């Protein structure tokens, strides 16, 4: 035992196991070159002495932190009030439960104006990263690429870059599914509250909505942009109704925005779905609590987060960067449409 602290050291473990300190260190660091009998002797000594590795010292040698970072370039208010991020963290935590890795949550403003996220990544303070809610002006893709940090994007990056991978749904097809349902239901004047134009989900869902209306020779001019928040959805819907009072349906690019949009529709004196049918996107638990309950498209965030962790772990184990994964989705019909 260390005379100063009474805490067992690696030298104590080596002495108890009858091996060199270097051999004991190789066992602690899971070196496969150690013979089985020797490994068992060292592990027995670790158990008997109650030895715990000095993780700080170990990380200096192995350059491993035993953490992965979930990087979210959004305000803390957004992160802690949006169920999408709660689902992301739940999926990551579940996927890491059987590993020795811990999750670190990094939150920063869109565009990383103060550079904190960039400095953390470039400093290699984590073994890998899952980047969520990526914006066009976020250069995080460049940061992870330049330091060769294993990374998986949750959601397709706004612009694809060599050496990066992601897991997502086909947002164009998902929005087309929602819009086609409204068309098939007999709606003729269908607007949209789209997501931010600087995010792939916002751009892709707008494209899917527009493609179906164009296919059916219906007008595709009733568009307002939101910010994936309740308030943003309400404001955008108010503008949409003012500019296009003849709307009889709307596809809203997230359930949070749809909740705000439904409040704005009711405030205008219109009934849902009699006057205006509403379809959202995400199938959050919130969708069952809106008035009326919200028809929406599934965005399986928990499963996507779990898949992203699996893809990242494969990289950490020395495997190749896997091809992007597209998760399946479906329409859940409720009373709003």
Tell me: do 74 and 98 sit in the same domain: yes
- Residue-wise pLDDT tens digits, 258-269: 999 999 999 999
Q: Is 40 helix (H, G, I), strand (E, B) or coil?
A: helix
Sign of CA dihedral 305, 132, 163, 135: positive
Tell me: do 195 and 116 sit in the same domain: no
Tell me: do 158 and 176 sit in the same domain: no
Among all chains, which residue has been given the structure tokens 């999408």? 84
Q: How confident is the model at residue 162 (pLDDT cuts 50, 70, 90)?
A: confident
336 falls within a domain: no
pLDDT of residue 172: 97
310 falls within a domain: yes
324 falls within a domain: yes
How many whole angstroms separate alpha carbon 179 and alpha carbon 266? 21
CATH number at residue 244: 3.40.50.2300
Average pLDDT of the segment spanning 279-305: 96
Q: What is the model's pTM?
A: 0.79
- Please tell me the least confidently modeled range out of 81-85, 189-193, 217-221, 317-321: 317-321
How many whole angstroms separate alpha carbon 243 and alpha carbon 221? 10
- Residue-wise pLDDT tens digits, 77-123: 888 889 999 999 999 999 998 888 899 999 986 665 557 788 888 88
CATH number at residue 28: 1.10.260.40
Tell me: do 156 and 186 sit in the same domain: no
Tell me: do 194 and 208 sit in the same domain: yes
Q: How confident is the model at residue 6 (pLDDT cuts 50, 70, 90)?
A: low
Tell me: do 217 and 156 sit in the same domain: no
What are 184's strand-pairing partners? none
Please check the confidence at residue 58 and state whether its pLDDT lies above 60: no
Tell me: do 313 and 272 sit in the same domain: no
How many whole angstroms separate alpha carbon 43 and alpha carbon 87? 38
49 falls within a domain: yes
Higher pLDDT, 126 or 251: 251
Please check the confidence at residue 3 and state whether its pLDDT lies above 50: no
Tell me: do 143 and 86 sit in the same domain: yes
Domain count, the chain: 3
144 falls within a domain: yes
Tell me: do 57 and 71 sit in the same domain: no
Average pLDDT of the segment spanning 268-283: 97
Tell me: do 113 and 47 sit in the same domain: no
pLDDT of residue 147: 85
- Please tell me the least confidently modeled range out of 28-32, 180-184, 228-232: 28-32
Tell me: do 182 and 257 sit in the same domain: yes
Largest Cα span, the chain: 85
231 is written with which tokens?
A: 């308030």
Instruction: Give CA 319 to chain center in angstroms.
Output: 22
Average pLDDT of the segment spanning 54-69: 63
45 falls within a domain: yes
- Residue-wise pLDDT tens digits, 209-247: 999 999 999 999 999 999 999 999 999 999 999 999 999
Residue 148 falls in which region: left (phi positive, over 0), alpha (psi -120 to 50) or beta: left
Tell me: do 165 and 313 sit in the same domain: yes
152 falls within a domain: yes
My answer on whether omega of the bond before 273 falls inside 30° of 0, hence cis, is yes
147 falls within a domain: yes
Q: Are 253 and 205 in contact (CB under 8 A)?
A: yes
Higher pLDDT, 47 or 93: 93
Domain of 20, in residue numbers: 10-62
Give kind and range of the element (H or E) at residue 28.
helix 21-28
């Amino acid at each position: 035992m260390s005379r100063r602290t009474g805490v067992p050291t690696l030298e104590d473990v080596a002495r108890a196991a009858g091996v060199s300190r270097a051999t004991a260190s190789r066992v602690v660091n899971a070196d496969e070159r150690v013979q089985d009998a020797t490994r068992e002797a060292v592990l027995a000594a670790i158990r008997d002495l109650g030895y715990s590795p000095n993780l700080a010292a170990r990380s200096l040698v192995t350059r491993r932190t035993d953490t992965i970072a979930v990087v979210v370039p959004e305000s803390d208010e957004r992160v802690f009030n949006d169920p999408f991020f709660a689902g992301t963290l739940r999926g990551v935590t579940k996927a890491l439960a059987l590993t020795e890795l811990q999750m670190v949550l990094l939150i920063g403003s869109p565009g990383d104006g103060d550079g904190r996220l960039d400095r953390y990544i470039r400093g290699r303070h984590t073994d890998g990263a899952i980047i969520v809610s990526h914006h066009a002006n976020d250069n995080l893709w460049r940061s992870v690429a330049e330091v060769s940090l294993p990374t998986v994007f949750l959601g397709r990056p706004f612009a694809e870059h060599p050496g990066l991978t992601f897991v997502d749904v086909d947002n164009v097809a998902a929005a087309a599914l929602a819009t086609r349902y409204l068309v098939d239901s007999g709606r003729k004047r269908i607007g949209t509250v789209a997501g931010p134009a600087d995010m792939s989900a916002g751009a892709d869902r707008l494209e899917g909505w527009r493609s179906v209306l164009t296919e059916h020779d219906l007008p595709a001019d009733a568009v307002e942009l939101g910010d994936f928040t309740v308030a943003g959805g309400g404001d955008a819907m108010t503008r949409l109704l003012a500019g296009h009072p003849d709307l009889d349906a709307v596809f809203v690019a997230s359930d949070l925005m749809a909740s705000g949009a439904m409040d704005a529709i009711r405030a205008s004196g219109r009934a849902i779905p009699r006057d205006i049918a509403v379809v959202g996107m995400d199938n959050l638990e919130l969708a069952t609590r809106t008035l009326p309950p919200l028809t929406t498209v599934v965005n399986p965030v928990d499963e996507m987060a779990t898949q992203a962790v699996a893809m990242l772990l494969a990289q950490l184990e020395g495997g190749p960067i896997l091809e992007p994964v597209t998760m399946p989705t479906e329409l859940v019909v409720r009373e709003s449409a």
